Structure formats: C-alpha cells, structure tokens
Structure 1
C-alpha cells in the first residue's frame, strides 16, 4: 500500500514538473512571441572600457556597434542566398524571395527576438522542402537557412535568457525529426547536428548567464557602496550631534543660570522683569531637556558608540592642537604646524570642527602616506578660519586600512554644516591636500566662554 502511494506521489510530481516545463515553454516561445523588445545601444562606460583609444567623436557611433554587426551579417546572408539563384527568371525570383526570407530574421532579433526565431525556423523548413522539390531529398541542414537559424538562436539566447537555449533546441530538432519521419527521409546527419547545435547553444547560454551574474554583482557592489557611504555619513552625523549637544548645552546652561541670577542683581526688580527672566530660564531648561532627548534618539541605534570617551570631558578645541601634534609625532609622522593671523576666540562649534578636521587629515596621512611629511596651517582671517592639511607622497607601501574609507565625507559634512567650503584632492607630487574655510560672522563676546589657550 505504501509502495502504491509512493508511486502515485512520484507520478504526480513528474506530472507537475512536466506541466511547469510546458507552461514555461509556452510563456517563452508562444505568448507575445512577436512583442517589441528593442536592443538598447551600448552604454558609454562599456565603450570607454572596451575601446578607450577611440576618439570622442566616434564613440557615439560605437554605441550602435551590435546593431551594425547584425545588419552586416544579414547582408552577407542575403548575398549568399542570391549566389544560389538559377538561370531562369522564375528560379531567380524564388531565389531572391528565399534570400530575403533567410536574411530578415537576424535583423529582426534586434527588435523581436522570439519572433525572429520562428521566422528563421520557417525559412529553414522552406529550404528543406525546396530541396525535396529540386533534389527529392528532405534536409534542413544543408542550406543557408539552417546556418542562419543557428545564428538566430544564439542571438536570441544572448538577448533573452539561458533557458531558451534548451527550449529552442527541443522545438527545432523535434520538428526536424517529426518531418523526417513523416516524409520517410533518411535521418542522415540529424543526431550529430543536434549534438553540435546543443553544444553551441549551451555555450551561448553560459555566456548569457555569466553576463547576467556579472551585472548582478556590479549592482550589488554599487548598492553596498551606497549603503556603506550612507551608514558612514549617519555615524558621522551622530558624532557631530553629540559634540554639538555639548556646545549648545553649555550655552543654554549659562543662559539659564544668568536668567535665574539676574533678578537678584537689581534692587526692587519689577514683577514683569522677574517673570520674563523666569520664562527665559524655563525655556532654557526645556531646550536642554529636548536636546538630551534628541541626542538619546540619535545614539539609541548604537549606545556604545562613544563608550571609549569620557562623556563628561570637555570637547577639544584648537587650544589642544599641540597635544594632537605631539600624539601624531609619537606615531612616526613628521608634522609642522603654522598659525597665521591673530588667534582669537571662536565659537565652540567652529573650534571643535576645525580640530576634528585636522585630526582626521593627520590620521589619513598616517594611514595612507607612511613616511611622508605633513604640514598643518591654521589661518585666522577676517570673516572666518582657514584650515589646510597637506602631506607628501608616501615613501613606503601603505598597509590596508580597516576603516570605512569615508573620512573625507565626515570632514565635508562638518564644513557644510557650518556653511563653509572644503576641497580634498591629490597633489602633483603624489601627496594629498585638504583645505577648508569655515565662516565666522561674529566672535564678539566669546572671550569668556571660549576657554583658555595653551
């Protein structure tokens, strides 16, 4: 009983497989067989990769190289068909018609690939029946139509999907075998030709599958690169948000304290003024609470993002630049620092961003240009602060860096946040240069909150 049930299940499984194969065959070769599917021109990136030596004026014509190749092949097929025309006018007219019928399918593959296959199969069968009329033997393999049919099948596989190679092979040799049996002709070269065509179509399907796999790999790499860049920017913005929180929180705390103490500094403070100061203090305290809440949301995705640093430590400023330079010098980087202009207190956000830009620029020099010398320039100019970090060419091979490789994006994010401009590019001697300008509209009154300078 169990064996009978297993046999029935096996038959049902085989029937489902066969039904699925027939359904795919119908969808691929019969449904919308003559649908319009134009072959797009080549992409400019492929042309630049394949023929980089080609002049720019000719590259726009090179985009149509596949179309021109197929068209040239169709012309050759037509000329080969015309070469077989007979001496009589009727035979000449038939030869011209057959040549057009055989030469049209390759050109049709550029627009309607599956329909081109059916037209090419029809042309091969017409050639076989023509052999019956003139030589009393049926064979679709001994005329130009069959060679064109094989070329069309290869083009269709390369244009559509690999499984069409099996489907077209089954249909072609199924029809050829059935007609051979019905006519009673000698099968002759049918088996070896079938094997040869199968090998050619399998090779075409392999090429198509390889191209499709390569395209998917390129798309996956592009998506991965975009996601990595987006994640790096988000991480950098989270770090900036935490640092700016400390800067803004300090000022808001000062506002709250001064608003609370102000009524006690004035004798007989009017009730309206005391109420205003109390409102200012309440708003400052509420703003501090909102800042902490927003910072918690930003850091919630990675609660340990800043675990290595002391949350109570003050944020670094340009006053800590000497300690940063000593640190990188101890790591082996020869660095020179030059300060031009008159140093003055700047907003804490500007000082913090400038410090981080210098820190990242020197870190990149250590990682990517071992053995090179670096130079840091801080320029206090009217209306802002200029920062420039430049290093020479490496004197030895750089080790692979485990970082994400998006430090420049983080620096640019900081500069743009403050309304500044930044450039990062390689120098002529093989080094690298980062230059940024951060505008400062007003620095008056910052001496009390700017901190001491060493």
Structure 2
C-alpha cells in the first residue's frame, strides 16, 4: 500500500514538473510570440568604455552598431541564397523567394525576437520539405542541414537568447530538433547528421545562454550597487539631519527658556498689573514650558537611534560658536595641519544657529583637509558682510598619498545640509592646483552700525 502511494506521488510530481515545463514553453514561445520588442541603441557610457578613441561625431552612429551588424548579416544571407539562381528562370524565382524568407529572420530579431525564431524555423522546414518536392535541384538544397537556412536559424536562436532569457536556449533547441527529426523521417534523409549537429548547436546555445546570464547578473549587480549607494547617501543625510537637530535643540531651548522666564517675571515688574495682562503672561509662560517639553520629547526620539551620540563630549556643554574658532585651529595645528585664519569685516553677534553651522562647516572642512590632503596647507576665511556671513576653507594639493576613506563625500553632504537649512548657498569643488575648496554664504538679517574694517588671525 505504501509503495503504491509513493509511486502515485512520484507520478504526480513528475506530472507537475512536466506541466510546469510545458507552461513555461508556452509562455516563452507561443504567448505574444510576435510582440513588438525593439532593440534599443547602445548607451553612451558603453560606447565610451568600449571605443574611447572614437570621435564624438561617430559615437552617435556607433549607438546603432548592433542594428547595422544584424542588417549586414541579413544582406549576406540574401546574397548567398541568390548566388546559384538563374535570372528569369523558375529556379531563380524560387531562390529569390527562399532567400527573402531566410534573410528576414535575422532582421526580424531587432524588433520581434521570438517571432523571428518561428520565421526562421518555418524557412528551415520549408527548405527541408523542398528536398522532396524539388528533388530535381539537389545542388541547390543539399542535405537537410546543408542549406543556408539552418546556419541562419542557429544565428537567429543565438540572437534570441542574447536578447531575451537563457532558458529559451533549451526550449528552442528542443523544438528545433524535434522539427528536424520529423523532417528527417519525412524526407527520408540520413539521420546520421542529426546527433552531431544537435550536440554542436547545444554547445553554441549554452555558450550564448551563459553570456546572457552573465550580462543579466552584471546588470543586477550594478543596480544593487546603485541602490546601495543611494541608500547609504539617504542614511547619511538622515544622520546629518539628526545631528543638526540635536545641536539646534540647545539653541532653541535657550530662547524658549528666556521667553518662559521673562513671561513669569514680567507681571512683577509692573505695579498694579491688569488681570488680562497677567493672564496673557501666564499663557505665554505655559506655552513656552509646553514647547520646551515637546522639544525634549522630539530630541529623545532623535537620540533613540544613537543613544551614545554625546558619549565623547559633555552633553551639558554649550554648543560651539565662532568664538571657539581659535581652539579648533590649535587642535588641527597640533594634528600637523598648517592653517591660516583670516577674518574680514566687522565681527558682530550672529544668531546661534548661524554661529553653530559656520563653526561645524569650518570643522568639517579642516577635517577633510587632514584626511584627504596630508601635508597640504589650509586657509580659513570668515567674512562678515552686509546681509550675511561668508565662510571659505581651501587647502592645497597633498604632498603624500592619502589613506582611503570610506566616508568620502559624507562631510560635504552634511555641510550642504546645514547651509540649505539656513537658506544659504555652498560650493565644494577641487581647485586647479589639486587642492579642494569649500565656500558657503549664510544670509543673516542686516543690523545697523556695521562697518567694513578687517583683521587677521593666525
């Protein structure tokens, strides 16, 4: 009983496998067999990689090189089919018709690849059947695999595999040699040619399928790497925004605390404070305290992904400003970077968010100089101008080889995010001498009494 059940299960499994194979065969070769699938031109990046020496004008035509190659092959097939025909004779007319039928297959692969296979298989079957009908022309058709239709059919199958998917190699091989076996019996040809030709065609199609699988795998790897790079950039951007939010929390919290304290103290500074005014001050204080609570809650969410964000520094320490620039310069000088600082314009108090962002931009610019340009000299310029603050960090070319840095570009992303947050503009690009320059302008509301005196710090 158990053996019978196991045998039935095995038969069902084999039936399911066979049904699945037939379903895939039907989907690949029969459903929408003549659907329009044009071959796109080559990408400019591939042309530049393959033939970088090609002039720019010729590169536009090089994009259509696969189409021109297949078209030239079709012309050769047509001319080969017309070689033995006599003009004006029945043989010539038949040869012309067969030549057009055979040559149309490769050309059709550019637009309808699976349909091109069926057309080439039909041409092969017609020429094979012609062995019986037109037996008076043995030199024209030769053996079943000796006519020009079969090499063309093989070329079409290779093109179809390269254009579609690897498994079509097996499916077309089975269909083709199934038809070839039937024709061999029908025309009474010698079946001795069938096995070696089948083995040779199988090897060619396997090679084409391997090339197609390699190309597909390479394309997926490139897509995965691109997606990974985009995800890494997006994650870095979110991390930078979280860092900015943590730093600006202290700035905003300070202002809200001042508002709450002043609102609480204001009623005591006015004799006989009207009840309405006292109520308004109380409401202001309550809203300020509620805003502080919300700020702390938001900061807790931001810090939850990085609980050790302030592990290397004092969380109660005030955020740095441009007044702390001297200590930063001393720090990078002790690390071996020769840096000069120049301040132009009249230094004036700026909003804390602007001071903090300017300090971080200078800090990141000098860190990049240390990391990517060892041995180079750097220059920091702080410009107090009408309407804003200018920051410029420039370094020369490195004097020795820099160590690879996996985080390259992320610091620039963070600086750009800070500047854009404050409505400013920033550029970061290499200099002509092999160094690097970061220049940013942060708009600040104008204040009266500004002068244009300058000074230097070193």
TM-score (norm. length: structure 2): 0.93
Q: Residues 214 and 237 (structure 1 numbering): CA distance in 2 closer, same or farther, change over 3 Å?
A: same
Q: Which shows bigger deviation, 329-338 or 361-370?
A: 329-338
Instruction: Calculate the aligned-residue CA RMSD, in Å.
Output: 3.2
> How far is 1:297 from its partner?
2.6
Counterpart-to-counterpart distance in 1, 2:19 and 2:201: 26
Counterpart-to-counterpart distance in 1, 2:87 and 2:406: 78
Report if the CA contact (8 A) 2:344-2:456 is conserved.
no
TM-score (norm. length: structure 1): 0.93
The SS at the match of 2:428 is strand
Matches within 5 A, 1:137-148: 139-148=143-152
Q: Which shows bigger deviation, 85-94 or 23-32?
A: 85-94
Report if the CA contact (8 A) 1:348-1:450 is conserved.
no
Alignment of 1:82 onto 2:82: yes
Report if the CA contact (8 A) 1:161-1:208 is conserved.
yes
Report if the CA contact (8 A) 1:262-1:277 is conserved.
yes
Report if the CA contact (8 A) 2:78-2:103 is conserved.
yes
Report if the CA contact (8 A) 1:379-1:387 is conserved.
yes
Q: Which shows bigger deviation, 78-87 or 125-134?
A: 125-134
Q: Residues 247 and 449 (structure 1 numbering): CA distance in 2 closer, same or farther, change over 3 Å?
A: farther
Report if the CA contact (8 A) 1:362-1:389 is conserved.
yes
Q: Residues 110 and 264 (structure 1 numbering): CA distance in 2 closer, same or farther, change over 3 Å?
A: same
> How far is 1:448 from its partner?
22
> How far is 1:84 from its partner?
2.1
1:90-110 superposed Cα distances (whole Å, 9 cap, x missing partner): 111111100100010111111
Q: Residues 177 and 167 (structure 1 numbering): CA distance in 2 closer, same or farther, change over 3 Å?
A: same
Report if the CA contact (8 A) 2:166-2:213 is conserved.
yes
1:122-151 superposed Cα distances (whole Å, 9 cap, x missing partner): 111222223334457x83310111111011
Q: Residues 372 and 198 (structure 1 numbering): CA distance in 2 closer, same or farther, change over 3 Å?
A: same
Report if the CA contact (8 A) 1:347-1:446 is conserved.
no
> How far is 1:356 from its partner?
0.3
> How far is 1:9 from its partner?
2.9
1:253-291 superposed Cα distances (whole Å, 9 cap, x missing partner): 111111111221222222232222222212211221222
> How far is 1:71 from its partner?
1.2
> How far is 1:80 from its partner?
1.0
Q: Which shows bigger deviation, 213-222 or 52-61?
A: 52-61
1:301-352 superposed Cα distances (whole Å, 9 cap, x missing partner): 3333333332211000111111111111122211111111221111110000
Counterpart-to-counterpart distance in 2, 1:4 and 1:452: 97
Report if the CA contact (8 A) 1:36-1:112 is conserved.
yes
Q: Which shows bigger deviation, 174-183 or 439-448?
A: 439-448
Report if the CA contact (8 A) 2:386-2:446 is conserved.
no
Q: Residues 206 and 130 (structure 1 numbering): CA distance in 2 closer, same or farther, change over 3 Å?
A: same
Report if the CA contact (8 A) 2:157-2:172 is conserved.
yes
Counterpart-to-counterpart distance in 2, 1:426 and 1:452: 25
Counterpart-to-counterpart distance in 2, 1:90 and 1:436: 83
Report if the CA contact (8 A) 1:336-1:374 is conserved.
yes
Counterpart-to-counterpart distance in 2, 1:151 and 1:157: 10
Counterpart-to-counterpart distance in 2, 1:447 and 1:187: 102
Q: Residues 178 and 260 (structure 1 numbering): CA distance in 2 closer, same or farther, change over 3 Å?
A: same
The SS at the match of 2:364 is helix
The SS at the match of 1:452 is strand
> How far is 1:245 from its partner?
1.1
Report if the CA contact (8 A) 1:319-1:453 is conserved.
no
1:17-56 superposed Cα distances (whole Å, 9 cap, x missing partner): 2221111111111122112212122223222322333333
Deviant stretches of 4+, over 6 Å: 444-454
Q: Which shows bigger deviation, 325-334 or 305-314?
A: 305-314
The SS at the match of 2:61 is helix
For 2:309, the equivalent position in structure 1 comes to 305
